[in-house]
Structure 1
Amino acid sequence: MFIRPRTSVDITQIPHVMRVNDWVIAANLLEQWFNNPANDNIPPDTTTVKMDDWVLQFRRVRRVYEQMLSQKIWLNDKAQIVVVKMLQQQGKLTDTETEFGDFTKPVPLINDDYIQYRTVGSIWDPTDDLFASLGRLTLRIAIKGVVKPIATGHAIFIQELGIYSRDSFDFKGSQHLGYWNMNNNYGGKNFFRGSKVRNADFREWSKQHNRGGNYLVFSDLKTIKLKGDGDVFETTI
């Protein structure tokens, strides 16, 4: 049975267009998707995206990152509730001084205990490598420190931060993915310059070729040691 394509674009050529435009990370991630088997059980990518060398080089990410630090979001009321619950579940609220947090673990495991996050990205962002690869991403914070018993409960000393980015690389939903032209290597938002590509085009390709596997993308972990004994708050638990 002949299946009429949704788009006139050969989507397998998009990584080439991305490389011509110097969107190297986007091209690498998309090629991974094409090469993956067609399922949702693909291991996360933890090596392609780097915080210092790539993520934080984009001003819109750097702006949110610096706000997270200046606002100390690991110490706000919501974060304190999450931290106390996490330490309870880990059995760290005892009658002896106890360390928590392990930044030697792989980032996907550290992600199980992140305490706060901020989202970066919108449809108004410039068409660049970040927009083409991740679009909207989250910056997440995990913590490391010490719990000390006190007369009224526990004092929780946050001594080190671990900050990383997380995103899902998939083609779920009805997202519009811009306009692409293989003849002039254009990829962007100008509908006069290319043909529209949608998430559905990738799902259709996946169905026909039994390839195209969705996966999570984690950056490496950027660690920050806080001054002195760190930031502290108390809980009556």
Structure 2
Amino acid sequence: MDLSYYKINKLLWRWSKKDGARIVREAKLSMDKAPPALPVPPAAKVSPTPKPPKPDPLVQMVDDLYRASDAFSRSKKWLDTPAPPKQPKPTKPEKTVPPFDIQEIPGAMRKEAMPIGARLMERWFAGRLNYSPTDDDERGKINQDGKPYPPDMYDTTTVKLDWVLKPERARSKYDYLINEAIRSDKARKALHDTLVPYKGRSDLFTTDICGDDPERLHKLFQFQRVGVDGTLAEKIKLQLIADVERSVVPDDLTAALGSFNIYAAIGSVRFSQDIASGVIVSSTTKAEITGIWVYVTDSYTFTDKQGDRSQYLGHWSSDGVIVIPLDGVAAISPYIPYVESPVTLGNPVIKGEVHYPIHNSDFRQWQIRHQRGGDFVVFTDRRFVPVVPPIKVYL
């Protein structure tokens, strides 16, 4: 039975609907490739081995004569040995489907113009075992050992804010955040509750408290956020349910961050009190927020919501990704099965022609099998944005 599928048209950067995908029963996703080696700490310096003393000239001459005689003896024996009988020509092995390992997906992502997404996935594969057993643990950044994520499970260099804001869908949300959302009633309430402990100051610069620690700034002073996009699985699901050929395909931003938030945290505040003729008129403190920090943070994980089917991430091969419409419907219906089998678009014995269904659960299976794979937290760099006019909050 031939199946319809969607493939990325790189010229138009749209999904292109095609027919002719055929199920391949004998193929199975490989998880056999060993994970990347963990970083090894630099070894201690070892003193060089002293050079051996030069041999005695007479002893050296005797050794040379012995080696020459031995070589002549072996050469004569080889000349006197009859030639072995000719072996029959080996039969050609039967052609089989080339294996596709789950660790080949980052390479395929690069072919689909998703280099940042590929780098983050490679980091996940290379990490030591780290994951959150529950949604609450993930929000609290608590791992399987009941401990906070270790420092090497924070990535602050791969994803840049300027890169995130290149697509219009992200830039428009950023503009909404700094121009409107930070002045909402909800944001003012959060600002009030956050600043009450600091109202005895004349001013506040949050970097004096948090230094260059993005996690501490986020925990203590974040007060507003706006959401951007949906996950790769959500975009594929919506695309397949709608069955719209010219829908925009997921891009590198989707592959890297999926559904994420742009955050605003307090940057600088000026405090003052109502004073008339040198006398304090009111005990109320006025806080004027004069600057904010804007950044993105997101968890890189393959967690599924409890009770839900594992999210379908497309059919992947070493050449890229396709999506099967039936999987999109199955993702929202407990009664329709997934297309769980690999499919081929041509000759299945050619590398890259067979595409394998990938779900979040596949990465979790790999994680359990190899006891590797580190869920981690992404932080972009931070941008200081002056707030003009300042936001006034009374404490």
- Which of the five TM-score ranges fits, normalised by the shorter chain? 0.7 to 0.9
The CA distance in 2 between the partners of 1:189 and 1:152, in whole Å, is 63
* Percent of residue pairs identical: 28
CA separation of 1:19 and 1:38: change in aligned 2, threshold 3 A: same
CA separation of 1:155 and 1:126: change in aligned 2, threshold 3 A: farther
TM-score, with structure 2 as normaliser: 0.53
1:119 matched to which residue of 2?
A: 227
The correspondence of residues 191-206 of structure 1 with structure 2, limited to 5 A, is 194-206=355-367
The correspondence of residues 1-237 of structure 1 with structure 2, limited to 5 A, is 9-40=100-131, 41-42=149-150, 43-52=153-162, 54-71=163-180, 73-88=181-196, 91-94=197-200, 96-102=201-207, 104-112=211-219, 113-122=221-230, 123-124=234-235, 126-144=249-267, 145-150=269-274, 151=282, 153-173=284-304, 174-182=310-318, 185-190=319-324, 194-227=355-388, 230-235=389-394, 237=395
The CA distance in 2 between the partners of 1:78 and 1:189, in whole Å, is 40
CA separation of 1:11 and 1:5: change in aligned 2, threshold 3 A: closer
The CA distance in 1 between the partners of 2:273 and 2:111, in whole Å, is 58
CA RMSD between the two structures:
2.3
Q: Which stretches in structure 1 are left out of the alignment for 5+ residues?
A: none
Superposition deviation, residue 121 in structure 1: 1.0
User: Which fold has the larger relative contact order, with Cα–Cα distance below 8 Å and residues 6 or more apart in sequence?
Assistant: 1
Query: Could you list the per-position Cα deviations for residues 144-185 of structure 1 after superposition, in whole angstroms to 9, with x for gaps in the alignment?
Result: 222223325121111112111111101111222122122xx1
Query: Could you list the per-position Cα deviations for residues 188-222 of structure 1 after superposition, in whole angstroms to 9, with x for gaps in the alignment?
Result: 53567632210100000011111111011111101
Count matched residues.
224
The CA distance in 2 between the partners of 1:204 and 1:34, in whole Å, is 12
1:127–1:188 Cα contact (<8 Å) kept: no
Q: Which has the larger radius of gyration?
A: 2
2:74 matched to which residue of 1?
A: none
Query: Could you list the per-position Cα deviations for residues 6-27 of structure 1 after superposition, in whole angstroms to 9, with x for gaps in the alignment?
Result: 9985210001111222211111
1:146–1:158 Cα contact (<8 Å) kept: yes
| Counterpart residue type for residue 111 of structure 2 | V
| Counterpart residue type for residue 194 of structure 2 | M
2:30–2:101 Cα contact (<8 Å) kept: no
| Counterpart residue type for residue 273 of structure 2 | P
The CA distance in 1 between the partners of 2:270 and 2:314, in whole Å, is 48
CA separation of 1:215 and 1:118: change in aligned 2, threshold 3 A: same
TM-score, with structure 1 as normaliser: 0.85
| Counterpart residue type for residue 10 of structure 1 | D
| Counterpart residue type for residue 218 of structure 2 | N
2:124–2:374 Cα contact (<8 Å) kept: yes
The CA distance in 2 between the partners of 1:81 and 1:9, in whole Å, is 53
The CA distance in 2 between the partners of 1:58 and 1:179, in whole Å, is 25
2:266–2:291 Cα contact (<8 Å) kept: yes
Question: Secondary structure of 2:289's partner?
Answer: strand
2:129–2:373 Cα contact (<8 Å) kept: yes
2:51 matched to which residue of 1?
A: none
2:264–2:293 Cα contact (<8 Å) kept: yes
Query: Could you list the per-position Cα deviations for residues 120-155 of structure 1 after superposition, in whole angstroms to 9, with x for gaps in the alignment?
Result: 112336321111111101100012222223325121
The CA distance in 2 between the partners of 1:215 and 1:118, in whole Å, is 21
Q: Which stretches in structure 2 are left out of the alignment for 5+ residues?
A: 1-27, 32-98, 132-148, 236-247, 275-281, 305-309, 326-342, 346-354
| Counterpart residue type for residue 385 of structure 2 | I
